[in-house]
A and B are shown apart, each in its own frame.
Chain A
Amino acid sequence: MRCMSFAKRNAKEIIRDPINVFFGLGFPLVILFLLSAIQANIPVSLFEINRLAPGISVFGLSFVSLFSGTLIAKDKTSSYMLRLLASPLTSADFIIGYTLPLLPMAILQSAVCFIVSFFLGLTINLNVLLALVILLLTNVFFIGTGLLAGSIFNDKQVGGVCGALLTNLTAWLSGTWFDLDLVGGAFKTAAYLMTFVHSVNAARAAIDGDYASIFPDLWWVIGYAILIIIIAIYVFKSKMKSENI
């Protein structure tokens, strides 16, 4: 009950910030429209909607880290955190309260991205639901990253780390904007050591109905999600105990 009330508050804080709504929903859709328009006017297949929609969804999810990280960092530097820490809320209440609202937001974000993609030519079938499940696992990684960044940095630093660095890493290393094979070498190797391209590839495989190709990539997604969540929870709890949060 306590954690649910706190989660509700956090959801309201995020939704009522117009910048969050713009970057969470508006910006990825603008990119989706823009790249689809480019595709319509070039003779080669660069941004086909079946490949583009999962990539833009993963890119959109990267803003989840910014939402949660900023909220935690802002709370941390305000007296409101003192009120919360003096209350009977436990560490588990805090972690659930900060992370839970982001799950439905992420589902909504990806769903909107796919619905818009339907109008741009994405095939409507049940595979899209499977892609949504895969993206939800991807979202766990971004939620964990937000929790970690919010625990360590102040809100301005979170803006730099999650708003600039993470979104750019997601964009460049996910294979959404360009085929990583075109660059190859160390860049491609580095990209495949991160989770982003695996998230996009797993979601693309789901969309294409190529179920056998989902799992090699999905293991990376699950592994990264578990790893970052464990680190984030450990750091968050340590920060609470160290009286610095």
Chain B
Amino acid sequence: MTAIETIDLTKKFKNKTAVNKLNLLVEQGELFALLGVNGAGKTTTIKMLSCLITPTSGDAILLGESVTNNPQAVKENVNVSPQETAVARNLTVKENLELTAEIYGFGRKVSKQKTEEMLLAFGLEEIANDKAKTLSGGMQRRLSITMALISDPKILFLDEPTLGLDVLARRELWSAIKKLKGKITVILTTHYMEEAETLSDRIGVMVKGELKAVGTAKDLIEKTGVKTFEDAFVALATETEAEK
């Protein structure tokens, strides 16, 4: 079943077209990576899909609900882990999780129960009573992603989730993200080729606001006739320039 369908999804900021007529299909349970250089339109796409900004034209249907016609219904089904760590700094880890669950409509008792489950599942139980601002960058990021998951989203947007993390923290997060595969639909943006290749079922490469290619890492390597996925990405990302 289709989780996300975009129909000529477009976003313009004054004279600049950030995303141009994006047409994309993502299946339920799929982990789809969006790759692109800075300014390619990845984050703008995620912001439109998560109803943070309104498309200039076109539409996106998430689990049958339109981001333009019924954003409130879309919001009930999705959650986001923004590019930068998004936590309430003066709240403890536990309070951050409980608050997020309550904002998504869970009662206090259920929120507390879900918080305990998430603390255990994501190895946060030892720092449950620490304020978010006292945590390391890696732990804050882990908390941020756990906050995105506590609402039981059917679709999760992870915007550069491992940006700025050290290798160990990154690997730990990869392990957590891998566990989500098949259970919920995940849209991941990243600059790390290895991350996209390791985690995702399919990859979309965006160049200057347009979707240049979609497929598995293997598909994209074959399509570009190179040896590695990184080379395939470079070939796709620079193709437009070369064509000019």
Contact = CB atoms under 8 A, between A and B. Distances in A.
Interface of A: 1-2, 5-6, 8-9, 12-13, 16-17, 78-80, 82-90, 243
17 contacts: A1-B105, A1-B107, A6-B99, A9-B99, A12-B90, A13-B89, A79-B86, A83-B82, A83-B86, A83-B147, A86-B79, A86-B80, A87-B79, A87-B103, A87-B104, A90-B72, A243-B54
A16 B95 CA distance: 13
Given A2-B103, A12-B90, A82 B72 contact: no
Nearest to B157: A86
A89 B82 CA distance: 17
The CB with the most chain B CB atoms within 10 A, among A12, A79, A86, A88, is that of A86
A52 to B, nearest CB: 34
B83 interface: yes
A176 B83 CA distance: 49
Nearest to B72: A88
Interface residues on B, range: 20 to 34
Contacts of A90: 72
A79 B82 contact: yes
Contact of B52 (A5, A78, A243): A243
Contact of B80 (A83, A88, A89, A243): A83
Interface of B: 50-54, 72, 75-76, 78-80, 82-91, 95, 99-100, 102-105, 107, 131, 144, 147-148, 151
8 nearest CB pairs, A to B = A5-B102, A79-B86, A79-B84, A79-B82, A83-B86, A16-B90, A82-B82, A86-B80
A105 to B, nearest CB: 15
Given A79-B82, A86-B78, A6 B90 contact: no
A79 B83 contact: yes
A138 to B, nearest CB: 27
Nearest to A87: B103
Contacts of B72: 88, 90
